[in-house]
């Protein structure tokens, strides 16, 4: 177990292409941190720099208080699980898991004990004699994790480990990785582009975009108080509804401030919002924070599509010029072309300055 620190870490390829513009954050001992962002945001590069597979152009990476910039991968005491598993095809499962200890010239009895222990944790006991080609995708992924566990490293690194699995297996492995972390409590850095993976697994999430950090926080922090439009739209599924509009403050800062959208709809905002009269804003409201109101009250909306999923119903609605998605619990009698009325949890609305994308209030 160890702490990890990034201090103004930068990465430039060649002399031109800058992929990381100075990234700084700290990871606590035993913490499960997920780096998430769209492809090309620099998250994998950052992980590979931590692993020692990429040079560090600028700044410092610190593991357990020690700057590791110049250390070889093997001397950083980290273990990594790759998207493609990267199992050695010519070795059995047992040999794959024992490889790192063999290279360290560990005692044979010690090695086999560690391999057996890891195999037991991951349910691989029966497969130790098999070759990777004889395993299913999920089993291979577990062997890759086993190879990491056997080392008992300071830090686990996961680089999109579930991307090659089908949807059902992905959910199962997600839970398995989380359970593994709760059991071993090893500091873990996990890279994914899938925000649901990030939300479900992380102690803290680092949202990255275009080589900078957009926001760091617990999953629910990010969900409840995204600091900017990017995070707001990236985190949450279905994604947050975002409507362009103008801030209307009848008596500067008063409680009846609204965002007026094109087409005339007036969206309620949370109290103590700040901002100024006439400011161009993006108004955000999550699909689950909108409810159906009794007829005649709230905002009128026209039903376009109804998508029942059993426990919930997803509605695609037209409000003024904007289309929004509403998720309601249970079922609805609404049909396409009906007009329904919406009540908004104003406390849960988010307002962002259109120019900067930053949160108001």
Partner 1 sequence: MSRRMSWKSVTTEAKLLLIGIPLFLWTIIPVYHLFLFAISSKDSATSGRLWPKEPTLQNFSIVFHRQHFYLDHFWIQLWNSVLIAVSVAALTLFVATSAAFAISRLKVRGGRTVMNLALFTYFIPAAFLAVPMYKTMGNYGLLNSQWALILAMVTIASPYCIWVLKQASDKLPFELDEAARIDGASPLQLFRLVYLPLMVPSLVAVGTYALLLAWNEYLYAFLLLSNDTSITLAVALGNFLSADDSPWELLMATGLIYALPPAAIYYAFKRYMVGGLTAGAVKS
Nearest to 114 by CA among 68, 149, 83, 142: 149
Helix crossing, 108-121 with 93-103: angle to 10°? 130
Nearer to partner 1 (CB atom), residue 81 or residue 285: 81
C-alpha torsion angle, residues 188, 189, 195, 197 (rounded to 10): -30
Q: Which is nearer to partner 1, 151 or 193 (CB)?
A: 151
Closest CB to partner 1 among 101 and 301? 101
What's the CA angle centered on 318, arms 315 and 321, to 5 degrees? 150
- 80 is a contact residue toward partner 1 (CB under 8 A): yes
Task: Tell me which stretch binds partner 1 (CB under 8 A): 13-21, 69-77, 189-197, 245-253.
Answer: 69-77
Least gap, CB of 113 to partner 1 (angstroms): 18
Burial profile 41-52: b = 16 or more Cβ within 10 angstroms, e = fewer: bbbbbbbbbbbb
Nearer to partner 1, 72 or 337 (CB): 72
Interface with partner 1 (CB under 8 A), residue total: 23
Residue 100 engages partner 1 in binding (rule: CB under 8 A) = yes
Q: Distance (Å, rounded) from C-alpha 81 to C-alpha 147?
A: 8
The residue (of 74 and 329) whose beta carbon lies closer to partner 1 is 74
Q: Which of 88, 125, 256, 356 binds partner 1 (CB under 8 A)?
A: 88
Nearer to partner 1, 156 or 223 (CB): 156
Evaluate the omega torsion of the peptide bond into residue 26 and state whether it is cis, within 30 degrees of 0: no
Tell me if 86 contacts partner 1 by CB under 8 A. Answer: yes
Residues from 229 through 258 that contact partner 1 (CB under 8 A): none
103 near partner 1, rule: CB under 8 A = yes
Among 79, 119, 269, 290, binds partner 1 (CB under 8 A): 79
Taking the least distance from each CB to partner 1, the nearer of 156 and 234 is: 156
**99 belongs to the binding site for partner 1 (CB under 8 A):** yes
Is residue 112 close enough to count as binding partner 1 by CB under 8 A?
A: no
Give the alpha-carbon dihedral of 92, 95, 99, 103, to 10 degrees: -130
Interface mask toward partner 1 for 13-52; x: CB under 8 A: --------------------------------------xx
The correct pick among 18, 57, 62, 82 for binding partner 1 (CB under 8 A) is 82
Q: What angle do CA 80, 144, 33 make, to 5 degrees?
A: 40
Nearer Cβ to partner 1, position 69 or 354?
69
Which of 23, 61, 78, 281 is in the footprint of partner 1 by CB under 8 A? 78
Distance CA 8, CA 60 (A): 7
Q: Is the Cα dihedral 332, 333, 337, 341 positive or negative?
A: negative
Whole-angstrom distance, CA of residue 277 vs CA of residue 269: 13
Nearest alpha-carbon partner for 73 in 151, 172, 190, 167: 151
Would you tell me how many other CB atoms lie within 10 Å of the CB of residue 255?
Answer: 12
Confirm or reject binding of residue 66 to partner 1 (CB under 8 A). no
Given candidates 73, 318, 323, 332, which one binds partner 1 under the rule CB under 8 A? 73
Out of 90, 276, 329, 331, point to the residue binding partner 1 (CB under 8 A).
Answer: 90
89 binds partner 1 (CB under 8 A): yes
Kindly state whether residue 104 participates in binding partner 1, applying the rule CB under 8 A.
Answer: yes
Q: Which stretch binds partner 1 (CB under 8 A): 97-105, 192-200, 222-230, 314-322?
A: 97-105
147 lies in the site for partner 1, by CB under 8 A: yes
Residue 161 to residues 23, 81, 128, 297, 301, Cα–Cα distance (Å): 23, 6, 21, 48, 42
Return all residues near 80 (Cβ < 8 A) that are at least 6 apart: 51, 148, 156, 157, 158, 159
Torsion of CA 244, 250, 255, 257, to 10 degrees: 0
Sign of the C-alpha dihedral computed for residues 12, 80, 130 and 88 taken in this order: positive
Applying CB under 8 A, the residues found at the interface with partner 1 are 51-53, 72-74, 78-80, 82-84, 86-90, 99-100, 103-104, 147, 151
């Amino acid at each position: 177990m160890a702490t990890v620190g990034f201090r103004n870490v930068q990465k430039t390829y060649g002399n031109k292409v800058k992929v990381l513009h100075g990234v700084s954050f700290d990871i606590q001992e035993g913490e499960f941190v997920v780096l998430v962002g769209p492809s090309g945001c620099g998250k994998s590069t950052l992980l590979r720099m931590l692993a020692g597979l990429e040079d560090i152009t600028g700044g410092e990476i610190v593991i357990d208080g020690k700057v590791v910039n110049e250390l070889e991968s093997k001397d950083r005491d980290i273990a990594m699980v790759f998207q493609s598993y990267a199992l050695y095809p010519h070795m059995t499962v047992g040999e794959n898991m024992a490889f790192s200890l063999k290279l360290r010239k560990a005692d044979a009895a010690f090695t086999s004990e560690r391999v057996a222990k890891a195999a037991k944790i991951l349910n691989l006991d029966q497969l130790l004699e098999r070759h990777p080609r004889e395993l299913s995708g999920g089993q291979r992924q577990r062997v890759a994790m086993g190879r990491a566990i056997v080392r008992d490293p300071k830090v686990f690194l996961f680089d999109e480990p579930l991307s090659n699995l089908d949807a059902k297996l992905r959910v199962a492995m997600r839970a398995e990785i989380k359970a593994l972390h709760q059991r071993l409590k090893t500091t873990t850095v996990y890279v994914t582009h899938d925000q649901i993976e990030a939300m479900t697994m992380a102690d803290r999430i680092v949202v990255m975009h275009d080589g900078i950090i957009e926001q760091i926080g617990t999953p629910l922090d990010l969900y409840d108080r995204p600091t900017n439009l990017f995070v707001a739209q990236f985190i949450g599924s279905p994604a947050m509804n975002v409507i362009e509009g103008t801030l209307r403050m009848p008596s500067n800062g008063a409680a009846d401030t609204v965002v007026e959208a094109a087409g005339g709809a007036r969206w309620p905002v949370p109290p103590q919002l700040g901002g100024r009269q006439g400011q161009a804003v993006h108004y955000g409201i999550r699909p689950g924070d909108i409810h159906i109101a009794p007829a005649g009250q709230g905002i009128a909306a026209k039903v376009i599509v109804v998508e029942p999923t059993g426990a919930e119903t997803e509605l695609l609605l037209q409000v003024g010029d904007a289309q929004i998605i509403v998720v309601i619990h249970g079922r609805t009698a609404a049909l396409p072309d009906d007009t329904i009325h919406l009540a908004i949890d104003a406390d849960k609305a988010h307002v962002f300055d259109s120019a900067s994308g930053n949160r108001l209030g």
